[in-house]
Amino acid sequence: MVAMENKADTRPIITAYCLEWHITTSGSMHDLLINPLAPYADIRQVAWNGLDELPAPKAGEKIIFYMMPPTEAWMEKYPVPVIWIPMADAINHLPKIKYHAGVKIVSFSRAVEEMAKDLGLAYLSVRYFSNPDHFPQASFDDGRVMLYWNRTGFFHDRLIKTICRKLKIKRLIFRSAIDPGIKPEKYYALPPKIHHTVVETHETLTSFQDYLHLLGRANVFIAPRAIEGVGVVFLEAMASGCVVIGYDEVAMNEYITHGETGFLFGAVQPRYRWLWSEKGILYRAINKLSWKIRKRGYRLQPHMTTFQDWRFIQKQDFAKIGNQARAAMAEGYAKWIANIPVYADFVIQNEDK
């Protein structure tokens, strides 16, 4: 038998600067960049904290900055073409790269599109969706089972207890560990039982498979953060057919249609809680300004309120909404796959004109 020769790898090599966290912990960079573009490019992650001086680019080297933009000093010193993939949850103000012709942006949300326009930079809009075929379909045959990972403390314990009571949650699967860098006071424990809801607490998980096992038992899911760059975690829940509850902000409100494919909760600034009767005005003025406020250097800290439209939510058919969420993910996933060649071309063919 003649051994088959290995074909030479002709894919271009791309250096991708990212946080150490994206290499050691988070899988989002693989989901959004490395895996979909693997047939087209060999993308190699390099840890960078966004501040340290970077080496000079090699001749012909293709470079991606994931989340953090290149520094102005580096761009001035090395005016080479680069791709920047920012995330809305990591943007507080405009970076100092306005009208820098060497930078092109890949946008995964409308907030990033707005930023690219304000910066006068070329950009490509793409939307990521999870593949429903990778997740077993959620069952509603034995009551409502809700999964909540308290990553940031955004959904406080009082609201969680209210959700359990108002929505008649039979079991709450509660992962209590907060993310690194979150203030310790955002951590909280829950009692073994909330009204008629049995609480099952998991302090930590040993693997992603453990998490998927918990997701497979749930049919209601809470998107845990105030802002998401994409929100792979809640997209996976939608793909499984869970009813996702999220805050009405980027990127939850770009995927969830309230009452059709999930539920979007409103919030108000703590100082304005007494004006909740004016919710419509505050909702538009505070929660819908999104990037328009953040780009001026302000970072909103909304407070989730228990004053939600519970009557509307209680009337909805949760199983139907879960099915519609899963179908929406399937439709979106087909579009995501169809757009990957365009995405790859934008990234790989990024050259000086």
**Mean pLDDT across the stretch 157-182?**
94
| Lowest mean pLDDT, pick from 54-58, 102-106, 260-264, 272-276 | 272-276
What are the pLDDT digits (tens) for 187-211? 999 999 999 999 999 987 778 888 8
Which residues sit opposite 171 in a β-bridge? 145, 198
User: Which has more confidence, 306 or 291?
Assistant: 306
Which residues, other chains included, contact 100 with Cβ-Cβ below 8 Å and sequence gap of 6+? 75, 119, 121
pLDDT category at 9 given cuts 50, 70, 90 is confident
Mapped to the 3 state alphabet, what secondary structure does the chain carry?
Answer: CCCCCCCCCCCCEEEEEECHHHHHCCCHHHHHHHHHHCCCCEEEEEECCCCCCCCCCCCCCEEEEECCCCCHHHHHHCCCCEEEECCHHHCCECCCCCCCCCEEEEECCHHHHHHHHHHCCEEEECCCCCCHHHCCCCCCCCCEEEEEECCCCCCCHHHHHHHHHHCCEEEEEEECCCCCCCCHHHCCCCCCEECCEEEEEECCCCCHHHHHHHHHHCCEEECCCCCCCCCHHHHHHHHCCCEEEEECCCCHHHHCCECCCEEEECEECHHHHHHHHHHHHHHHHHHCCCHHHHCECCCCCCEECCCCCHHHHHCCCHHHHHHHHHHHHHHHHHHHHHHHHHHHHHHHCCCCC
What separation in angstroms does the CA of 323 have from each of 4, 95, 114, 214?
Answer: 47, 41, 32, 19
Q: What is the mean pLDDT of residues 289-313?
A: 67
Question: Which residue in 153, 334, 350 sits closest to 247, CA to CA?
Answer: 153
Give residue 350's pLDDT.
62
Q: Is the pLDDT of residue 46 over 80?
A: yes
Average pLDDT over residues 83-110: 84
The confidence score (pLDDT) of residue 101 equals 77
Is the pLDDT at 275 greater than 50? The verdict is: no
Q: Is residue 344 scored above 80 in pLDDT?
A: yes
The share of the chain scoring above pLDDT 70, in percent, equals: 86
Q: Are 66 and 33 in contact (CB under 8 A)?
A: yes
Long-range pairs of 5-8 with CB within 8 A, sequence gap ≥ 24 = none
Asked whether the beta carbons of 40 and 348 are under 8 A apart, the reply is yes
What average pLDDT does range 149-172 have in this prediction?
Answer: 96
Which residue from 132, 122, 124 is spatially nearest to 108, judged by alpha carbons? Answer: 124
Q: Rounded distance, CA 313 to CA 301, Å? A: 25
Return the minimum-mean-pLDDT range out of 102-111, 253-262, 264-273.
Answer: 264-273
Question: pLDDT digit string (tens) for 112-153?
Answer: 998 898 888 999 999 999 999 999 999 999 999 999 999 999
- Span 233-254, pLDDT tens digits: 999 999 999 999 999 888 999 9
The class of domain 132-266+308-330 in CATH terms is alpha beta
- Determine the Cα angle at 88 with ends 83 and 94, to 5°: 70
Q: What is the mean pLDDT of the chain?
A: 87
pLDDT at 353: 45
Q: Say which range, 47-56, 58-67, 148-157, 301-310, has the weakest mean pLDDT.
A: 301-310
